[in-house]
Amino acid sequence: MHVLLISDPGPPSRRVASIRDEFEELLRQDFDASAQVDSCTETLRVQPDHQLEMSTLDAIVAGYPAADLVIMLTDIARHTQGKPLVAEVLPARHVAVVSCPTLGALTSRGRMLKIFMSCINQLLPDGQFAQKHRLPRWGQWTSSGGTGRRTLHAHTFTGGPRLVSGMTLANEPLRMAPKLSRAMAAASATGAFGIFYSSIWQMSHHLSTARLISIGLVAIVLMVFWLISINRLWDKPVNERRTTVVFYYNLSTVLTLLICVAALYVCLVVGILVGSLVIIDPDFMAETVHLSHARFTNYLDIAWLSAAMGVVAGALGSSFDAEADVKNLTHLQRLRSRVYIAEGDKD
């Protein structure tokens, strides 16, 4: 048995690399036959209506004539029949397409191996099944008409949250944070004033912990709202059929930016905290704020409030460092890039 694993760049390719050898061993054990698994990283293109462009997949497979079966792990979030689509099997092409985001953010190796093994079972002729039944308990394959096409959908209640979390992970928010270096520089410059102005010290001392946390959260939300609006990252469905899908896209965009901005906020707090510990003398702070003695929490309050001030006053007005960063930020932006490439080839 010769199986070809094709994966999109990013999280899909890393997941394939992590399970490739184990998957090959499972094929040998479950089918009691020799097995070889090859893998490659390619970008699967889409049609203008965001359906998979199967001709591009055929072109990729043509480069591996020895492959008997093909599994494609794609970064595209798929949604059909009102539910997230985990996998689709096309027996006529000997191809299975698995959606990486639909598997969720915390997909275990065992879960992915079960999906892959189940796809192999569906691709093989009737009567040729693995010795072990490895289909996840929550899913059942369904047939679509007389085409032989089979689909595996996520659970009605858990599929949506798992899809959104998977899309958020695929957006790689922590890797996107450095792309906001201009915003970070503006926020740092403004937030640093909190170290030198005693009025910020006094205000942070008199504010309650709950109010300080609320101020920080409001600053993060404002920054997220600004980035979405200035970069036009909020999408509207072009037709009612895609309302649910676009909702998932928008929700994953919001969560991605929340994680990204929150990470920057934490870095800003840490930076200002270190600066304040170095610059502000404890006795001078105690005298200025009318304390018996300065504590670490006083420095932390100053850093937290100064970071919020920096984000609101300094970072608003900033954007991502380059337009390319915006195009690669969200699922829908990357999906549009794939459509553009496909149309460019036709031209």
Q: What whole-number distance in Å separates Cα of residue 330 and Cα of residue 310?
A: 26
Q: Are 253 and 317 part of one and the same domain?
A: yes
Q: What whole-number distance in Å separates Cα of residue 64 and Cα of residue 96?
A: 16
Q: Are 149 and 27 part of one and the same domain?
A: yes
Reading the block at residue 256, the tokens are: 């991605």
CA angle 197, 201, 203 (to 5 degrees): 110
Q: Mean pLDDT across the stretch 231-258?
A: 81
Q: Are 62 and 182 part of one and the same domain?
A: no
Q: What is the pLDDT of residue 338?
A: 65
Percent of the chain with pLDDT over 90: 17
Q: What is the pLDDT of residue 113?
A: 87
Residue 335 lies in a domain: no
- Quote the number of domains for the chain: 2
Q: Mean pLDDT across the stretch 237-253?
A: 78
Percent of the chain with pLDDT over 70: 83
Residue 342 lies in a domain: no
Q: What is the pLDDT of residue 258?
A: 92
Q: Are 120 and 249 part of one and the same domain?
A: no
In the listed set 162, 197, 217, which residue is the last one of a domain according to the structure? 162
Q: Are 69 and 123 part of one and the same domain?
A: yes
Residue 261 lies in a domain: yes
Q: What whole-number distance in Å separates Cα of residue 157 and Cα of residue 261?
A: 29
String of DSSP letters for 10-77: THHHHHHHHHHHHHHHHHHHHHTS--EEEEEE-PPPB-TTS-B-HHHHHHHHTT-TT-SEEEEEES--
Q: Are 146 and 213 part of one and the same domain?
A: no
Residue 344 lies in a domain: no
Q: What is the pLDDT of residue 273?
A: 94
Q: Mean pLDDT across the stretch 156-184?
A: 81
Q: Highest-confidence range of 23-37, 83-97, 214-228, by mean pLDDT?
A: 214-228
Residue 90 predicted with pLDDT over 60: yes
pLDDT tier for residue 319 given thresholds of 50, 70 and 90: low
Q: Are 157 and 81 part of one and the same domain?
A: yes
209: left (phi over 0), alpha (psi -120 to 50) or beta: alpha
Q: Are 150 and 198 part of one and the same domain?
A: no
Q: What is the pLDDT of residues 124-157, one digit of tens each?
A: 876 566 555 555 566 678 887 666 788 888 876 7
How far from each other are the two terminal CA atoms of the chain, in whole angstroms? 39
Q: Are 248 and 290 part of one and the same domain?
A: yes
Q: What whole-number distance in Å separates Cα of residue 251 and Cα of residue 167?
A: 9
Read off the CATH number of the domain in which 13 is found. 3.40.390
Residue 339 lies in a domain: no
Q: What is the pLDDT of residue 10?
A: 82
Beta strands in the chain (DSSP E): 2-7, 36-41, 69-74, 79-80, 83-90, 95-99, 141-143, 150-153
Residue 341 lies in a domain: no
**In terms of residue numbers, what domain contains 112?**
2-162
